[in-house]
Structure 1
Amino acid sequence: MSGAPVIAFGQQPCGFFPRRFLVAKVWTARRLQKEMGGEIVFFYHDADHDPRETQTTLRHRTTDEAQTLNFTFENKLQRKYTPLYAKRIPADWQANTARQLGAFVSAEAIEAFKAVHATNVADFCLEMYRAMGMLEGVRVVRSSDPAVRTAACAIDDHYADVPCEGETVRARCVAGALKLHRGGSAYQTLPPCEYGPAQISPARDSRLGWMQSVIGCTHYIAGAGEQAYLRTADAPDITFVARDEIDRSSEAYVDLPV
Structure 2
Amino acid sequence: MSSPIICFGQQPCGFYPKRFLVAKIRTARKLQQEIGGKIVFFYHDSDHDPRETRTILRHRTTNDPAQLNFAFENKTQRKFSPLYAKKIPEGWQEKTILQLPNYIDHSLINIFKATHEKTVADFCLQMYRGMGLLDGIEVVRSGDPEFRKGACDISDFYVDIPYESEIVRARVAGDVLRLHEGGNAFLELPMVEFSKEQINPTRDTRLRWMQSVIHCTHYIAGAGEQAYLRKEEAPEIEFVTREDIDLSDEAYVELPSAAKKEEETIEHR
Quickly name the TM-score band, shorter chain normalised.
Answer: over 0.9
**Counterpart position of 2:227:** 228
> Residue 208 of structure 2 aligns to which amino acid in structure 1?
G
> Residue 120 of structure 2 aligns to which amino acid in structure 1?
V
Does 1:64 pair with 2:63?
Answer: yes
**Counterpart position of 1:107:** 106
Alignment of 1:101-250 (within 5 A): 101-250=100-249
For structure 1, the 5+ residue unaligned runs are none
**Counterpart position of 1:38:** 37
**CA displacement, residues 5-51 of structure 1 (integer Å, 9 cap, x when unaligned):** 00000000000000000000000000000000000000000000000
For structure 2, the 5+ residue unaligned runs are 258-269
Does 1:50 pair with 2:55?
Answer: no
Flag as ranges the 4+ runs of structure 1 deviating above 4 A. Answer: none
Q: Cα distance, 1:119 vs. partner?
A: 0.4
Q: Separation in 1 of the partners of 2:146 and 2:176?
A: 25
In the alignment, is the contact (CA less than 8 A) between 2:6 and 2:38 conserved in 1? yes
Q: Cα distance, 1:193 vs. partner?
A: 1.3
Q: Separation in 2 of the partners of 1:162 and 1:66?
A: 37
Q: How many aligned positions are there?
A: 257
> Residue 181 of structure 1 aligns to which amino acid in structure 2?
H
**Counterpart position of 2:260:** none
Q: Separation in 2 of the partners of 1:179 and 1:75?
A: 19
Name the % identity.
Answer: 61
**CA displacement, residues 116-167 of structure 1 (integer Å, 9 cap, x when unaligned):** 0100000000000000001000000000000000000011110000000111
Does 1:254 pair with 2:234?
Answer: no
Does 1:86 pair with 2:85?
Answer: yes
Q: Separation in 2 of the partners of 1:65 and 1:184?
A: 29
Residue 204 of structure 2 aligns to a residue whose secondary structure is helix
Q: Cα distance, 1:223 vs. partner?
A: 1.4
Q: Separation in 1 of the partners of 2:222 and 2:43?
A: 14
Q: Cα distance, 1:180 vs. partner?
A: 0.8
Q: Separation in 2 of the partners of 1:45 and 1:252?
A: 18
Q: Cα distance, 1:189 vs. partner?
A: 1.4
Q: Separation in 1 of the partners of 2:249 and 2:215?
A: 28
TM score, norm. by length of structure 2:
0.94
Residue 205 of structure 1 aligns to a residue whose secondary structure is coil
Q: CA RMSD in A?
A: 0.9
> Residue 166 of structure 1 aligns to which amino acid in structure 2?
S
> Residue 86 of structure 1 aligns to which amino acid in structure 2?
A
